[in-house]
């Protein structure tokens, strides 16, 4: 189970949870795309690493007989981008995966690492909220699920306790319709300046989340209700105004807070147009 000093490689979830219970200062490492970069920059210097790569039960995409889909926490971005299971309203998941960084990162990074890192500019957090996902978390005392919209709580902060492990992301059965992930970045593969994740079913049910405009992805039950009733100009304008009011963007090298606020309603309108143009929504 143990490799070189400070590095542990469990082969089961139970072993990993036992290690976290006994090593309170340990960090989990999944694909390493985020954590290794932070370690190289000396932003974090964990006393020990628990590598999840050898735990087979945490990998894969499984669709139940009733149509729900579970994505194991160690499933890589490239697998999600190419999976046939993400159709209709769940196309937003594959759409987001395809726009993550570059091929090297997509071949290395995992969905668990991406959502646990909780960077506001990452692609999966708004996508799983728009898809109405739940996040399954396990500890040595049991397991449970948290709605994705409640999982992210602040800058780089989630509901995850240091002694807990994300096991899987659970998605409802896809509905006929469209899923869109629209990302505005300086160059392809960069962090989002603003992103819009949209799930729009043929029966009208619509869910939206916005990335890059606050400490957590923006989402609103009121916005979802408005857009589930109508995609007309007045409804889209009202939804855009509400999302702007909810936003709390920062000024950085990618764009000003004011620029981000202006982008939100424009990108929402474009995402809905693209969903309609696909002929599924």
- The predicted pLDDT at position 5 comes to 43
49: Cα within 13 Å, side-chain hemisphere = 17
How many angstroms separate the Cα of 13 from the Cα of each of 99, 112, 143, 188? 30, 14, 12, 36
Reading the block at residue 135, the tokens are 């996040």
Judged against a pLDDT cut of 70, whether residue 8 lies above it is answered with yes
Confidence band, pLDDT 50/70/90 cuts, at residue 192: very high
CA–CA gap between residue 225 and residue 223 (Å, rounded): 5
CA torsion angle 172 30 136 268 (round to 10): -40
36: Cα within 13 Å, side-chain hemisphere = 9
Reading the block at residue 214, the tokens are 């606050």
Percent helix, percent strand, percent coil in the chain, to nearest 5? 35, 25, 40
Which strand (E) or helix (H) includes residue 18? helix 13-22
- pLDDT for 138-173, tens place per residue? 998 999 999 999 999 999 999 999 899 999 999 999
Whole-angstrom Cα Rg for the chain: 19
**CB of 212 closer than 8 Å to CB of 247:** no
Confidence band, pLDDT 50/70/90 cuts, at residue 23: confident
- The predicted pLDDT at position 37 comes to 62
Contacts of 46 (CB under 8 A, 6+ apart): 6, 25, 26, 27, 39
Whole-model pTM: value is 0.93
- The predicted pLDDT at position 189 comes to 87
CA–CA gap between residue 112 and residue 57 (Å, rounded): 13
- The predicted pLDDT at position 24 comes to 75
Judged against a pLDDT cut of 50, whether residue 2 lies above it is answered with no
DSSP state of 31: S
Q: How far is CA 281 from the centre of its chain?
A: 22
More confident residue, 5 or 106: 106
- pLDDT for 202-261, tens place per residue? 999 999 999 999 999 999 999 999 999 999 999 999 999 999 999 999 999 999 999 999
- The predicted pLDDT at position 135 comes to 98
- The predicted pLDDT at position 4 comes to 43
Least confident of 20-24, 72-76, 106-110: 20-24
Whether domain 1-52 has CATH 2.40.50.140: the reply is no
Could you state, in order of their start, the residue ranges of all structural domains in the chain? 1-52, 179-277
More confident residue, 95 or 37: 95
Q: In terms of residues, how long is the chain?
A: 281
Which whole number is the average pLDDT over 185-195? 94
Confidence band, pLDDT 50/70/90 cuts, at residue 265: very high
- The predicted pLDDT at position 1 comes to 45
Q: What percent of the chain has pLDDT over 90?
A: 83
- The predicted pLDDT at position 25 comes to 82
Q: Maximum CA pair distance of the chain?
A: 61
| CATH for the 179-277 domain, from 3.30.390.50, 3.30.360.10, 2.60.40.420, 3.40.47.40 | 3.30.390.50
Which residue matches tokens 């409804």? 235
- The predicted pLDDT at position 41 comes to 59
- pLDDT for 39-97, tens place per residue? 665 656 677 899 999 999 999 999 999 999 999 999 999 999 999 999 999 999 999 99
- The predicted pLDDT at position 36 comes to 64
- pLDDT for 127-136, tens place per residue? 999 999 999 9
- pLDDT for 267-279, tens place per residue? 999 999 999 998 5
How many angstroms separate the Cα of 87 from the Cα of each of 93, 104, 131, 177, 178? 9, 25, 11, 8, 8
């Amino acid at each position: 189970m143990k490799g070189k000093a400070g590095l542990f490689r469990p082969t089961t979830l139970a072993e990993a949870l036992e290690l976290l219970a006994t090593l309170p200062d340990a960090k989990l490492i999944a694909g390493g795309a985020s954590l290794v970069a932070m370690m190289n920059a000396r932003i974090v210097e964990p006393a020990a690493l628990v590598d999840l790569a050898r735990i087979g039960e945490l990998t894969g995409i499984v669709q139940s007989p009733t149509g729900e889909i579970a994505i194991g926490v160690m499933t890589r971005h490239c697998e999600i981008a190419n999976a046939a299971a993400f159709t209709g309203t769940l196309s937003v998941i594959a759409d987001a995966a395809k726009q993550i960084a570059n091929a090297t990162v997509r071949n290395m990074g995992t969905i668990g690492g991406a959502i646990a890192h909780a960077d506001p500019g990452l692609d999966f957090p708004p996508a799983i909220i728009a898809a109405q996902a739940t996040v399954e978390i396990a500890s040595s005392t049991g397991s449970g699920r948290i709605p994705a919209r409640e999982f992210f709580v602040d800058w780089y902060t989630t509901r995850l306790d240091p002694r807990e492990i994300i096991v899987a992301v659970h998605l409802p059965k896809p509905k006929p319709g469209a899923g869109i992930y629209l990302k505005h970045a300086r160059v392809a593969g960069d962090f989002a300046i603003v992103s819009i994740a949209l799930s729009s079913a043929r029966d009208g049910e619509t869910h939206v989340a916005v990335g890059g405009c606050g400490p957590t992805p923006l989402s609103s039950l009121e916005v979802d209700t408005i857009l589930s009733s109508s995609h007309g100009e007045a409804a889209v304008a009202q939804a855009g105004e509400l999302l702007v009011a909810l936003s709390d963007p920062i000024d950085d090298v990618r764009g000003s807070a004011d620029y981000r606020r202006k982008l939100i309603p424009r990108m929402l309108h474009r995402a809905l147009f693209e969903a309609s143009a696909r002929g599924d929504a």
